[in-house]
Amino acid sequence: MRRVMVRYKVKPDQVAANELLVREVYEELSRARPHGFHYGTFKLEDGVSFVHIASQEGEQSPLAEVAAFQRFQENIRDRCEEPPVVAVLDEVGSFRFHGDA
């Protein structure tokens, strides 16, 4: 299982646009329902920082096939005050993190 976290900060006037693009990604994912893929996006309390956490089986992310995700990435550097930083996560432990019963 591969886990990745991406963190970035958008310009204050780009928060709404960023949120709209993110929601479009989730709408497309809900239709495609990729197997073995867990994904969450969170806005931090400063109101301009975002964190995306993805967990997937295998090495190839299904996001590469999501048109809405491609649109989200197109101008991300223009929306950002601090560009995306990607970190691969090595799980030490978790409890029902992936929706386990």
CATH topology of domain 2-89: Alpha-Beta Plaits (3.30.70)
CA 15 – CA 74 distance, rounded (Å):
16
pLDDT tens, position by position, 8-50 = 999 999 999 999 999 999 999 999 999 889 999 999 999 999 9
Give the domain ranges of the chain. Answer: 2-89
CA 5 – CA 7 distance, rounded (Å):
7
Report helix angle 67-74 to 15-32, nearest 10: 160
What is the reported pLDDT for 98? 66
Residue 57 or 29, more confident = 29
